[in-house]
Amino acid sequence: MNPTNDPGLRSFIEVPKDSHFPIQNLPYGVFRSKSNQYARVGVAIGNQVLDLGALELAGLFKNTALDDMVVFNRRYLNGFMALGRPFWQEVRARISELLRHDNPELRDNQTLRKKAFIPMDKVEMLLPVNIGDYTDFYSSREHATNVGTMFRGKDNALMPNWLHLPVAYHGRASSIVISGTDIRRPHGQVLPKDAAEPVFSPSHLLDFELEMGFFVGPGSELGYPISAENAMDHIFGMVLVNDWSARDIQKWEYQPLGPFNAKNFATTISPWIVTMDALDAFKVTGPVQAPPPLPYLKSNRESTYDIKLDVSIQSEKMDAPYTVCRSNFKHLYWNIRQQLAHHTITGCNVRPGDMMASGTISGPDKSSFGSMLELTWRGTEPIQLPSGEERKFLNDGDTVVISGYCEGNEYRVGFGEAKGKLLPVKS
């Protein structure tokens, strides 16, 4: 076991038992505070943000791999992510050491403690990565089967290539936003039922998609694929993703090249990047892949993670969110090693900060379906909300909250939430 994942570790910072951010997690984010508008890198611990920029300036990373380097007093995490796994692991170990309940180095330095710890409700979280490219996969067999059944029938639900490769498309990095950002309902071309010609209209079938994404750390050179075996050397960490989707726009435009305007208007991510080292304790075996994938896609079956996920909706008439979906990352048919290997097998180069998302994560039963399209089966089975309202798809004013965490022995490793409110179309 990695010592930083030891269930017996305790921090001198008080951490509630159900917190997403114990000392075993230590996710990275970028923030600014009212007292200091300069953006810098921090880690979450309990309900506090530990300012790594302040620790860096105080020299607490001297005699580590980061000696004399400036990586945390930066607007984005890209520079740190590019350094690679040995650097990440040494820094994680150092931060864990500094936060231990029995280490006086930071605990008893009252001047630095006052400067370095800021309550979460006193900071503004920022997009943590300068995202150069964004690729969205389609890796849930249950989701692909559900959608295929709706549009092509049960006998032709999966396309012939689906069980042989991780299907994906390139998304739009510029419209990836941090949790808490309001989302505007888009306009687009739609084809009304029984119509021969499209019309220009606001989307009437606005949906969420329950996803997770990973960030590339060290990149690769053009012409040199990353193998599934070595993929983890290039994956820094993961976030929650809501890839908002306009289903009526998508239905009209997606043939033959796939989604475009139906998804490029907004993608919400959670602000804290949970590292793969923090997730290492939650590895599990993925689904059996049959037929066996081609050799370049073969990976250890214990290459996925037991991450509990849920989606809630809160209308403007409701006092609290209502859970409409409970799923799990482990349901994905294609794992992140395979996704990165397939993406680069042509020699496509990737760069620090590139993001790749899983596609909708649906489970085997209706309560675990990861989109309104599936939960309401194309609107034919509306969801009943506690307020007495019903939803076939999302209404203006609805707030969607995605949350996720791993359950450990006496602790959780969580992702916080990816939250967004749907605003009316801009006239």
Give residue 284's identity as a one-letter amino acid code.
V
269, exposed or middle or buried, with CB in 10 Å at 0-12, 13-18, 19+?
Answer: buried
What pLDDT was estimated at residue 426? 84
Per DSSP, helices labelled H in 37-109 are: 52-57, 78-81, 85-99, 104-107
How does residue 257 score in pLDDT terms, banded at 50, 70 and 90? Answer: confident
Q: Three-state SS for 325?
A: strand
pTM higher than 0.85 for the full model? yes
- Ordered by where they begin, the domains of the chain are 3-126 (2.30.30.230), 134-423 (3.90.850.10)
* pLDDT confidence of residue 210: 98
Residues ≥6 apart with Cβ < 8 Å to 66: 56, 87, 90, 91
Contact predicate 191/204, CB 8 Å: no
The pLDDT tens digits for 19-66 are 999 999 999 999 999 889 999 999 999 999 999 999 999 999 998 888
* Residue 338, pLDDT above cutoff 80: yes
List Cβ neighbours of 344 (8 Å cut-off, separation of 6 or more).
220, 224, 225, 226, 350
Please say if the pLDDT value at position 265 is more than 80. yes
Query: pLDDT tens digits, residue range 394-426?
Result: 999 999 999 999 998 889 999 999 999 999 998
Q: What gap in Å lies between CA 343 and CA 296, rounded to an integer?
A: 11
Cα four-point dihedral sign 396, 416, 268, 380: negative
Q: Residue type at 135? A: T
Residues with active-site annotation: 143
Banded pLDDT at 83 (limits 50, 70, 90): very high
